[in-house]
């Protein structure tokens, strides 16, 4: 997909855009439009920018609402971060290394594609020869078919059809599926999984890199994007909840918790759970609203544990197939937060409703088993995101950024057809919605 540069300021004829939601999608749309000289107001209901990828405070420590991981394949996200001035110094980029506490390890060497993948699988620890051969055969066959599937099937069915043995499923495919799609393989859309594999593992060598934020998630993109917006004389309003969008003679009237705004265009960049509340009742929007309201959601629980003296993990990101947390992250190694670990339970059905203290104890005990110690954390903080991502299921029909109303647009991870709910889909959708508006001016 071409990355369009809109830095050329264009004269507008009284147009103005209200963007509802200051997540990564809304802030990317706002930055693109601001650079193009379009008057923009962002209304964010919460006190912090970033939405589902934002800073949360725990005492004087800046944590995130969930540990996030980006890939080298997130071309538009990394481009957007760099363009807002928070590029390399804020990012920790490493060659792909997937390892588990029971000794399995897949490391991408510095070879050109596809040799990096062949060497990574051939040299993997914890996989039998049959496992490696099956994985290589599947990747070669998928590459030959352009990573396309004729029918919508689950990831589980795909892996069965390609006769993937239990070992390679447990060590590689199942954790990758849950990490990338936040949906269990039995329910996850194989086509979207293949898009992720095509663009990361099977892409250029650098596309499989793991990229971590060295600062908190609000500081890495949404806040620098807000500076771009404000520097161009536009507004970003926090704690400003949009209550209603109504069609007016000049475009729209937007009712917020702080007053009313008139504008010619609206981008609804809320999460999919809240979009229907604003869209319902607008003319011709019933089908889209029903489609969004029909999406199911998956939760993610992040358990932060602090140890004093610190526990250092053998790597910055270590898997544990035994669970409940599928991955542990060493926050000290990643962003210098001494003593802090993050345990992430993705597709957390059955966990998200539990008491936070109980979750902290369970993951604390898991940490002892996984890394062989008997230490107790000195502090813990649990963040439960009940609707972390939409459930990425086969045959899911997603709306695009355009709606039947020519001046009303959607943005958000759920509108990007190729990818699961990720920062990359959010940023892509923000760019697409802004581009769609620029086409109308």
Ligand X SMILES: Cc1cc2nc3c(=O)[nH]c(=O)nc-3n(C[C@H](O)[C@H](O)[C@H](O)COP(=O)(O)OP(=O)(O)OC[C@H]3O[C@@H](n4cnc5c(N)ncnc54)[C@H](O)[C@@H]3O)c2cc1C
Contacts to ligand X by CB under 6 A? 20-26, 43-46, 51-53, 65-66, 68-70, 241-242, 269-271, 274, 278, 300, 302, 385, 388-389, 412-413, 421-424, 426
Q: Is the peptide bond before 182 cis (omega within 30 degrees of 0)?
A: no
**Do residues 84 and 224 touch, judged by C-beta distance below 8 A?**
yes
Give me the least distance between CB of 132 and ligand X, in Å please.
27
Nearest Cα residue to 270 out of 56, 16, 17, 22: 22
**Do residues 145 and 162 touch, judged by C-beta distance below 8 A?**
no
Beta bridge partners of 55: 64
Give me the least distance between CB of 346 and ligand X, in Å please.
8
Give me the least distance between CB of 260 and ligand X, in Å please.
14
Q: Compute the distance between CA of residue 411 and CA of residue 429 in angstroms, rounded to an integer.
A: 5
Which two three-digit tokens encode residue 165? 């043995």
Kindly tell me which of 121 and 228 has the beta carbon lying closer to ligand X.
228
Kindly tell me which of 24 and 307 has the beta carbon lying closer to ligand X.
24
What's the gap between Cα 134 and its chain centre? 29
Give me the least distance between CB of 328 and ligand X, in Å please.
14
DSSP 433: H
Give me the least distance between CB of 422 and ligand X, in Å please.
3
Residue with tokens 């855009």, as numbered in its chain: 17
Environment class of 247 (CB within 10 Å of its CB; exposed 0-12, middle 13-18, buried 19+): middle
Give me the least distance between CB of 421 and ligand X, in Å please.
4
Kindly tell me which of 120 and 317 has the beta carbon lying closer to ligand X.
317
Q: Compute the distance between CA of residue 313 and CA of residue 318 in angstroms, rounded to an integer.
A: 8
In 10 A of CB 94, how many CB atoms? 16
């Amino acid at each position: 997909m071409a990355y369009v540069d809109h830095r050329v300021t264009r004269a507008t004829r009284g147009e103005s855009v209200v963007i509802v939601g200051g997540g990564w999608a809304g802030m990317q749309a706002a930055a693109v439009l601001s650079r193009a000289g379009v008057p923009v107001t962002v209304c964010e209901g919460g006190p912090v920018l970033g939405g589902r990828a934002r800073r949360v405070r725990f005492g004087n420590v800046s944590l995130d609402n969930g540990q996030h991981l980006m890939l080298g394949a997130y071309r538009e996200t990394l481009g957007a971060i760099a363009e807002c001035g928070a590029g390399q110094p804020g990012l920790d980029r490493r060659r792909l290394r997937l390892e588990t506490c029971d000794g399995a390890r897949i490391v991408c060497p510095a070879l050109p594609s596809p040799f990096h993948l062949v060497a990574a699988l051939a040299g993997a620890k914890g996989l039998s020869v049959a496992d490696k051969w099956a994985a290589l055969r599947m990747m070669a066959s998928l590459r030959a078919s352009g990573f396309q599937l004729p029918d919508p099937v689950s990831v589980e069915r795909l892996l069965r059809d390609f006769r993937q043995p239990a070992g390679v499923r447990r060590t590689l495919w199942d954790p990758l599926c849950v990490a990338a799609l936040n949906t269990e393989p039995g329910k996850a859309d194989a086509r979207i999984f293949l898009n992720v594999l095509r663009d990361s593992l099977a892409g250029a060598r650098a596309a499989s890199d793991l990229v971590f934020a060295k600062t908190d998630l609000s500081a890495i993109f949404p806040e620098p994007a807000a500076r771009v917006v404000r520097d161009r004389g536009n507004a970003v309003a926090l704690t400003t909840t949009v209550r209603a969008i109504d069609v007016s003679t000049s475009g729209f009237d937007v009712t917020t918790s702080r007053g009313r705004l008139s504008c010619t265009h609206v981008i609804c960049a809320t999460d999919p759970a809240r979009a229907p509340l604003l869209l319902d009742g607008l003319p011709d929007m019933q089908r889209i609203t029903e489609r969004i309201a029909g999406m199911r959601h998956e939760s993610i629980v992040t358990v932060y544990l602090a140890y004093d003296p610190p526990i250092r993990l053998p790597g910055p990101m270590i898997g544990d197939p035994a669970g409940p947390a599928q991955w542990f992250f060493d926050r000290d190694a990643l962003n210098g937060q001494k003593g802090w670990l993050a345990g992430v339970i993705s597709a957390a059905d059955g966990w998200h409703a539990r008491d936070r203290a109980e979750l902290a104890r369970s993951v604390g005990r898991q940490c002892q088993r996984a890394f062989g110690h008997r230490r107790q954390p000195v502090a813990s903080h649990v963040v439960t995101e009940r609707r972390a991502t939409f459930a990425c299921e086969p045959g899911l029909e997603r709306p695009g950024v355009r709606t039947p109303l020519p001046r009303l647009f959607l943005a958000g991870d759920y509108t990007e057809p190729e990818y699961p709910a990720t920062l990359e889909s959010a940023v892509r959708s923000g760019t697409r919605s802004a581009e769609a508006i620029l086409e109308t001016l």
